[in-house]
Amino acid sequence: MTNNNDIRNNTKPYAIDPAYLDFPDMTFSTNLLKLKLTNLFILATRLRYKWSKSLKVQTHKIDSTDGHKLKVIEISKKGLADNAPALVYFHGGAFFLTYAGLHLDNAQMYAEQADCKVFMVDYRLSTKAPFPAALDDSQAALEWVHDHASQLAIDKNKIVVIGDSAGGGLAASCAQLTHDKNKNRSEKINLLAQFLLYPVCDCETKTDSATAFEDTPLWTTNNNKVMWDVYLRGSDFKKGNEHIPAYASPIHRDDLTGLAPAYVEPTEFDPLRDEAIDYANALQAAGVEVTLVEAKGAVHGYEFVDCDTTTKYRKIRMDALNKVLGNT
């Protein structure tokens, strides 16, 4: 096992880009009070966030399940033409952390560089309500965007779901759920694509990367297990039953045929790496068009650091997104 000192001193057996070695050590537990306190800190840092003056930002409150009112933040360039493409964006944070400045930066980047409207979903965190609350909110937001396309001045045939980390898992699950719900919808939601960025895909956490990367920067084997313990608490799966709730863990779906084309971006030194690659391979085997781009030398949440590696893989992603949206 590699320890943190080995990683910091660059004597570890894997070649992480040195730019990521100053990531803070983050160790989470299933203590809900501690997680809620962490969220208060993130919220405090987010209050200082300043949007680009070139953007128009507004907040919508929509209905989700159980009477819950859901916040959706709409971000677009001022003067963007009507009938624009739409990105429904699900932020990362292990299902239990609120969105941070990085996620707002991502939303801003997509809006500015892909000439689209971004709808960022403030889904319920697992500290408040375990699965399926976050998925219910995410799906409600996606359906709301589609069903209100004319009012929102977007093209309902150019909707992409996109998410990083836990948000990538929600994007994948929404793609699956949308495919199934289309059977009973009067007007089908035809997703243009799903962009899954270092996504959460497998609740069993048994892959080689999920077990090996115990001390990698930012995200570790332990944190990965804590995430699922909190998200699926109370479920049969966490009570020792082999049953995994439908749509909770994307890779456990039996039939992947007919899903939207996927761009999958795992990071090399990340407990989630192998499950993302496995999911991409499973999609491809089912006949789904897949673009798989592994961010070499990068770690989970690598976008927190501005460096050449970050710039390289963000450009690859944006080029792929603009191609999907028909901007190139």
Q: 299 vs 109, 216, 304, CA distance in Å?
A: 20, 8, 10
What 3-state DSSP class applies to 295?
Answer: strand
As a whole number of angstroms, the distance between CA 264 and CA 172 comes to 10
Q: What is the pLDDT of residue 11?
A: 41
User: Would you kindly state where each structural domain of the chain is located, as residue ranges?
Assistant: 17-325
Instruction: Record the tokens describing residue 262, joined without a space.
Output: 């996927």
> Is 235 a catalytic site residue?
no
Q: Quick: pLDDT tens for 20-73.
A: 998 888 899 999 999 999 999 999 999 999 999 999 999 999 999 989 999 999
Find tokens 């007919």 and name the residue.
Answer: 258
Residue 122 has what DSSP assignment? E
pLDDT in tens, 211-268: 999 999 999 999 999 999 999 998 888 766 778 999 999 999 999 999 999 999 999 9
Smallest CA-to-CA distance from 270 within 196, 326, 311, 214 is with 214
CB 127 within 8 A of CB 96: yes
Q: What is the CATH number of domain 17-325?
A: 3.40.50.1820
Residue 270 among the catalytic residues = yes
| C-alpha span between 103 and 89 (Å, rounded) | 9
Tell me the whole-structure pTM to 2 decimals: 0.94
Q: Given 76, 165, 209, 235, which residue is catalytic?
A: 165
Contact 262, 290 (CB under 8 A): yes
165 a catalytic residue: yes
Catalytic residue among 103, 146, 179, 300: 300
Sorting pLDDT into bands at 50, 70 and 90, what band is 300?
very high
At 3 the pLDDT is 39
pLDDT for 272-289, tens place per residue? 999 999 999 999 999 999
3-class secondary-structure state, position 10: coil
CA dist., res. 294 & res. 82, Å (int): 35
* Distance in angstroms (rounded) separating the CA atoms of residues 237 and 203: 9
